[in-house]
């Protein structure tokens, strides 16, 4: 009887400690989010004609960028961690941080290959309003980043903002190996943006055929590695310019090969390493299509063997036959591109827009490539504050004649 009582008290003590730990973690993350959001000058940004003279960041700037990143993406992690430590059925934190799309959104499966592969998309259509001063419709395709899906809080918030404030049609895409697409097709991995660019053009074609005249101008908006996939669409030449009016990327790694090396070597800045590890484990446990917690081995053992023929074909058209990044095919860019970066980004460092700028000059694409450099914001942590700039860019490009390049 005494032993049973001790076991009961030990179980209760562990449960209480777990709940207290989750609450403390929640408060710490919320505090860091408030600190990083309200103590930074997120409005200070410029379109830089040259990024070559930018000085390296000090350690507290890197820390600030990591805090902004954690603040932007932490809500999903809180829900998962609280679910691990307590019962998801009764945990109030699960309900508090559950992010669902509003009523106008509905899940649609869009076919992208001849062998049956379909992408899960959250779609919301706006009916064009009448009147003499009616604005031209716009369709925005939102592409989440690596280890993320359409159900992540920041993506849901962005999609809602585009639908209600921009008054645009919205399509949020789960890429290969991500979200609902990864769950339905678990054996089809992410292709490191090589085939995702073509997939997004299929989604744009779906929007054009489904929405008809109400599709308006179709624009692509990618976050993090989703931005690299958008760039992969943008360098498809006339195939892209026939469908897409403009593209925008936020915190996108432009030199993907360099990023993969840094990830495999663990050389991302020290403030971001722990958060990255937690995020990777979180996505692995949620089973969103990633087959290994070790991303380096996942790429070498799964991705590259699976897409060997496709990679070989793409590398033949690249400026550098050893590079996978779509940046090395910038000569085929025919649509306006806005690339937004933050100086304190702990993942996509300042070298990324510098590489893009050099390639744009090399191929005489300066008139198409626009780089917006923000002083603060971390890795897409300032996405809400710069959404207005992206909207203005898309609106301006929507009035340009197509194939003006």
Is 196 exposed, middle or buried (CB count within 10 Å of its CB: 0-12, 13-18, 19+)? Answer: buried
Taking alpha carbons only, the member of 322, 393, 373 closest to residue 52 is: 373
Residues 357, 350: Cα–Cα separation, whole Å: 11
- When pLDDT is cut at 50, 70 and 90, the band that residue 73 belongs to is low
- When pLDDT is cut at 50, 70 and 90, the band that residue 171 belongs to is very high
Across-strand partners of 111? Answer: 118
- When pLDDT is cut at 50, 70 and 90, the band that residue 38 belongs to is very low
pLDDT by residue (tens digit) across 210-237? 998 889 999 999 999 999 999 999 999 9
Taking alpha carbons only, the member of 366, 389, 368, 365 closest to residue 377 is: 389
Handedness of CA 352, 335, 188, 70 (dihedral sign): positive
Out of 73-77, 161-165, 178-182, the most confident range is: 161-165
**Residue 59: predicted pLDDT:** 57
- When pLDDT is cut at 50, 70 and 90, the band that residue 134 belongs to is low
With a cut of 60, say whether residue 96 has pLDDT above it. no
With a cut of 50, say whether residue 178 has pLDDT above it. yes
Residues 325, 259: Cα–Cα separation, whole Å: 10
Taking alpha carbons only, the member of 391, 272, 295, 394 closest to residue 342 is: 272
Side-by-side strand order, sheet with 369-374 = 45-47, 369-374, 337-342, 244-250, 217-223, 138-143, 169-173, 118-124, 106-111
**Residue 54: predicted pLDDT:** 54
pLDDT by residue (tens digit) across 374-384? 888 888 878 87
CATH superfamily label, 100-398: Alpha/Beta hydrolase fold, catalytic domain (3.40.50.1820)
**Residue 74: predicted pLDDT:** 65
Q: Whole-prediction pTM value?
A: 0.78
pLDDT by residue (tens digit) across 6-34? 565 666 666 666 555 555 555 454 444 44
More confident residue, 240 or 7: 240
Taking alpha carbons only, the member of 93, 100, 199 closest to residue 152 is: 100
> 332-361 burial by CB neighbour count: b if 16+ within 10 A, else e?
bbbbbbbbbbbbbbbbbbbbbbbbbbebbe
> 226-264 burial by CB neighbour count: b if 16+ within 10 A, else e?
bbbbbbbbbbbeebbbbbbbbbbbbbbbbbbbbbbebbe
pLDDT by residue (tens digit) across 250-309? 999 888 777 776 666 555 555 455 555 555 555 544 444 444 445 667 777 888 888 989
Q: Where are the domains of the chain?
A: 2-95, 100-398
- Least confident range from 109-113, 146-150, 211-215: namely 146-150
Judge contact between 220 and 248, C-beta under 8 A. Answer: yes
**Residue 143: predicted pLDDT:** 96
**Residue 269: predicted pLDDT:** 54
Handedness of CA 23, 29, 32, 36 (dihedral sign): negative
pLDDT by residue (tens digit) across 150-166? 888 888 888 989 999 99
Residue 114 exposure: Cα atoms within 13 Å on the Cβ side: 0
Backbone angles phi, psi at 378, to 5 degrees: 65, -150
Question: How far is CA 389 from each of CA 38, 46, 165, 317, 385, rounded to the nearest angstrom?
Answer: 20, 11, 13, 33, 9
Residues in contact with 332: Cβ distance below 8 Å, sequence separation at least 6, in sequence order: 235, 236, 237
pLDDT by residue (tens digit) across 319-353? 887 788 898 999 999 999 999 998 888 778 788 88
Taking alpha carbons only, the member of 220, 292, 284 closest to residue 252 is: 220
Question: What does the DSSP assignment read for 122-180?
Answer: EEE-PPPP-STTPPPPEEEEEE--TT--TTSHHHHHHHHHHHHTS--EEEEE--TTSHH
């Amino acid at each position: 009887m005494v032993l049973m009582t001790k076991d009961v008290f030990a179980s209760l003590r562990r449960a209480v400690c777990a709940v207290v730990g989750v609450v403390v973690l929640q408060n710490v993350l919320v505090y860091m989010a408030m600190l990083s959001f309200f103590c930074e000058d997120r409005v200070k940004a410029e379109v830089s004609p040259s990024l070559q003279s930018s000085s390296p960041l000090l350690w507290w700037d890197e820390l600030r960028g990591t805090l902004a990143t954690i603040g932007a993406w932490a809500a999903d992690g809180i829900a998962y961690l609280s679910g691990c430590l307590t019962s998801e059925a009764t945990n109030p934190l699960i309900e508090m941080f559950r992010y669902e799309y509003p009523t106008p959104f509905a899940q649609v499966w869009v076919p992208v290959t001849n062998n049956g592969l379909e992408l899960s998309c959250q779609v919301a259509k706006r009916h064009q309003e009448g009147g003499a001063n009616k604005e031209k419709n716009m369709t925005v395709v939102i592409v989440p980043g690596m280890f993320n899906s359409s159900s992540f809080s920041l993506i849901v918030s962005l999609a809602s903002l585009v639908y209600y404030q921009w008054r645009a049609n919205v399509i949020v895409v789960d890429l290969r190996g991500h979200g609902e697409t990864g769950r339905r097709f678990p054996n089809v991995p992410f292709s490191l943006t090589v085939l995702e660019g073509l997939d997004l053009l299929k989604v744009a074609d779906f929007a054009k055929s489904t929405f008809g005249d109400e599709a308006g101008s179709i624009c692509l908006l990618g976050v993090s590695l989703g931005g690299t996939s958008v760039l992969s669409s943008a360098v498809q030449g006339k195939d892209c310019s026939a469908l897409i009016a403009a593209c925008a990327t936020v915190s996108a790694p432009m030199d993907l090969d360099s990023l993969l090396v840094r990830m495999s070597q663990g050389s991302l800045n020290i403030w971001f390493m722990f958060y990255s590890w937690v995020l990777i484990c979180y996505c692995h446990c949620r089973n969103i299509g990633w087959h290994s917690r070790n991303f380096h081995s996942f790429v070498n053992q799964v991705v590259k063997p699976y897409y060997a023929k496709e990679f070989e074909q793409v590398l033949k058209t690249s400026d550098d036959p050893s590079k996978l990044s779509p940046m090395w095919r910038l000569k085929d860019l025919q649509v306006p591109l806005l690339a937004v970066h933050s100086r304190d980004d702990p993942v996509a460092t300042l070298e990324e827009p510098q590489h893009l700028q050099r390639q744009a000059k090399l191929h005489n694409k300066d008139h198409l490539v626009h780089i917006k450099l923000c002083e603060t914001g971390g890795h897409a942590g300032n996405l809400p504050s710069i959404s207005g700039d992206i909207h203005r860019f898309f609106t301006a490009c929507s009035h340009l004649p197509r194939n003006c390049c």
